[in-house]
Chains A and B, each alone.
Chain A
Amino acid sequence: KNEVEQSPQNLTAQEGEFITINCSYSVGISALHWLQQHPGGGIVSLFMLSSGKKKHGRLIATINIQEKHSSLHITASHPRDSAVYICAPTRHSGGGADGLTFGKGTHLIIQP
């Protein structure tokens, strides 16, 4: 049973399009991270949020704790946004493991 479901798994879009990636989770969490991984590259944290909405440049992340759902939006998408985006809910402390769960990622390709 997957605790974290991301959709879509793969997404190809044209430059300039508005992109939405969704994440649903089943565990109680204290925060949720959105991570970005470029091909052959490392993983960087884009957002950490526990309620509402955050915005960094063209990226917007929202979360609805009651509905256990988060979305990552990219406005005016650009080929450099091509990457894998990973949703990572963080459980409350305790309960074993390091508290992090990960979606399998959304592979995004933005074509010029």
Chain B
Amino acid sequence: NAGVTQTPKFQVLKTGQSMTLQCAQDMNHEYMSWYRQDPGMGLRLIHYSVGAGITDQGEVPNGYNVSRSTTEDFPLRLLSAAPSQTSVYFCASRKAAGGNTIYFGEGSWLTVV
């Protein structure tokens, strides 16, 4: 049981480049989310999904795009990378809303130069 698999772990991008962070879970979870973690700011929600075919914006969605074509996969796309997107990104999943255990990916350290 792999849990939540997130790749890549480290990435350096040049300003203006695009890339996709991959996230996959094998627990048949409905809820999947992407967060960014910046010093002193805690985890902030970028986009989330409550099931295949359904996505919605979180607190800081600008510059990011997501899709949920299957229950398992929830990729995060950076459309045109900016230095302000330098951050640590975490994907998370859980079975449903409410009191269900949260599972996080190992994180992706992204630097935009």
Contacts and interface: CB of A to CB of B under 8 A. Distances in A.
Given A43-B90, A45-B103, A90 B42 contact: no
Interface residues of B, number: 26
Interface string A20-44: 0000000000110101000001111
Interface stretch (A11-19, A66-74, A92-100): A92-100
A48 B43 contact: no
Contacts, number: 67
Nearest to A105: B42
A104 B39 CA distance: 9
A92 B99 CA distance: 9
A102 interface: yes
Contacts of B105: 42
A105 B98 CA distance: 21
B53 to A, nearest CB: 16
Nearest to A43: B104
B45 A93 contact: no
A43 B31 CA distance: 17
B64 to A, nearest CB: 15
Interface of B: 31, 33, 40-43, 45, 48, 50, 56, 58-59, 90, 92, 96-107
Interface of A: 30-31, 33, 35, 41-45, 48, 50, 86, 88, 90, 92-94, 97-100, 102-105
